[in-house]
Structure 1
C-alpha cells in the first residue's frame, strides 16, 4: 500500500536513479523528479531523464547548476580530463560538493511541494570511491537540512546497502528490468542502454547485471 505522502526524487536518468524513481512511484502517493544541469559532458543525460520522466508520467524539472562545473575540474564536466581511477585517490569523475548541493536544492524544491521525502540513489556498497555516497554523509545532511529549514525531511536511500546485482534485482521486482536496461544512461562516455562497455560505470553495471541474471537463471532451473 502506498504511503499517502509526497516524494522528490533526485533524478539523472541513470540506472540507479531510475530504479529509485520507480521505487518511489510504488511507495508514495505523489512523486516528482528533479534533474540538475551542471555542465556534464553529455547533454543526452538530460534528454534521457526528460524522456523517462515523460514516459512514466512524472512531473519533472531541470535546474541549472552550471556554476558547479566552473568551481571543480573533473572528468564528468571536462573532456580534457581522462576518466581514471588510481589507488589511494578519489576517481577523476568525483565532483566536489555535487550530492551536497543536489540534495540541498532538492530539499528546497521538496518543501515547496509539501514533500517530506527526498529519494536519492547513492550507494555505499558499490560506491565508486565517492565520499558523498556514504551513509554517514546522508544522515549528517539529513539533520542539517531539517535544522536549516525547520522541516521534517527524510532522505530515503533505497540502494544504500545493495550491490549492483541487487539493484538489478530490485528493478526486476518493480517489473522494470528491461525498462531500466534499455532506457537509462549510466555510461561516462554517453552511450545509452548497455553503454560503451569500457568505462568504470559500464563495467560495474554489466558485472552486476551478469551476476543477477546468472542467479535468476539458476533459481529458475532449481525451482
Structure 2
C-alpha cells in the first residue's frame, strides 16, 4: 500500500488533510510536534484523530523552541483577531521548515510517496510558510537534498487546502467524514476555545460561511 506522512496538529486543517489522504487510499503515518506551544491541548486532539483513523503509528517529536512567538513565549500575549497587514506575533519562526524537514526524513525512511500539510493561502494569518512559493521551494529541496530525490523518486508535498477558503475546507472535511468534533484550533489552549484569537475567528467564520455549526465548545463567539 502507498504511504503518506501527515503533519497532524490536531486542528481543523491538518485533520482535513488526513481525511483526504485516507480517501485516496494511503496508509497514514501522522506526525505531531511538542514545540513548547501554549496550546498543548492540540496534541491530545492529534492523538484522538490518529486513533479515529486507526493509524499504524503516530509519532510525536519534541522540539526545543527558544520563543519568538506568542505561541511559544508566555511573555507575549495572544491577541484578539484583527484584520491587519503584516506577519502577526503568532508566527512561529521557521516552524513549517522544521516540521517539513522532520516529515521529509521520516517519509524517506518509510518509503512514503507523499507528505500532506494543511497550509492555505486563502484564509490564513499571513504566515510566510503557508504560501505556494514556500511549498514550491521546499519541493525543490526534496528533489535535490534527498537520496530519493536524486534517484528520481522524490516525495510529493501535498497541499490539498492551499487554494481553499476555510468554508470550503470545512465542507471537504464533512464530505470526507473527518472527525472535526475531535479537533481544536484555539491558540490559547483552554478547555474551551476562546473564540476571539485569529485561529478561532477564522474557524468560526468558516463554519458560518459553510452554513454549519462548529461541534467544539467556545467561551465566546466573535463571529
Q: Give TM-score scaled by structure 2 length.
A: 0.86
Distance 1:192 1:209 in 2: 20
Give the deviation of 1:86 after TM superposition.
Answer: 7.7
Distance 2:144 2:191 in 1: 39
Asked if structure 2 preserves the Cα contact closer than 8 Å seen for 1:186 and 1:192, the reply is no
Q: Give the structure 2 partner of residue 15 of structure 1.
A: 12
Q: Give the structure 1 partner of residue 158 of structure 2.
A: 156
Asked if structure 2 preserves the Cα contact closer than 8 Å seen for 1:94 and 1:130, the reply is yes
Asked if structure 1 preserves the Cα contact closer than 8 Å seen for 2:14 and 2:117, the reply is yes
Establish whether residue 78 from structure 1 lines up as the match of residue 73 from structure 2.
yes
Asked if structure 1 preserves the Cα contact closer than 8 Å seen for 2:116 and 2:159, the reply is yes
Q: Deviations over 1:133-152 (max 9, x none)?
A: 00010011011122111321
Unaligned runs of 5+ in 2: 149-153, 213-223
List structure 1 segments (4+ residues) > 2 angstroms apart after TM superposition: 84-89
Q: Give the structure 1 partner of residue 209 of structure 2.
A: 211
Give the deviation of 1:114 after TM superposition.
Answer: 0.7
Higher helix share: 1
* Root mean square deviation, CA, Å: 1.6
The aligned length equals 204
Higher relative contact order (CA 8 A, sep 6+): 2
Give the deviation of 1:104 after TM superposition.
Answer: 1.0
Q: Give the structure 2 partner of residue 52 of structure 1.
A: 49
Unaligned runs of 5+ in 1: 215-223
Q: Give TM-score scaled by structure 1 length.
A: 0.86
Distance 2:105 2:46 in 1: 20
Give the deviation of 1:191 after TM superposition.
Answer: 3.9
Distance 2:26 2:131 in 1: 28
Q: Give the structure 2 partner of residue 165 of structure 1.
A: 167
Give the deviation of 1:88 after TM superposition.
Answer: 3.9
Distance 1:192 1:23 in 2: 28
Distance 1:120 1:96, change over 3 A: same
Q: Deviations over 1:94-114 (max 9, x none)?
A: 011000110011010011111
Establish whether residue 100 from structure 1 lines up as the match of residue 97 from structure 2.
yes
Distance 1:38 1:163 in 2: 27
Describe how 1:170-181 pairs up with structure 2 within 5 A. Answer: 170-176=172-178, 179-180=179-180
Asked if structure 1 preserves the Cα contact closer than 8 Å seen for 2:10 and 2:42, the reply is yes
Q: Give the structure 1 partner of residue 59 of structure 2.
A: 61
Distance 1:90 1:24 in 2: 30
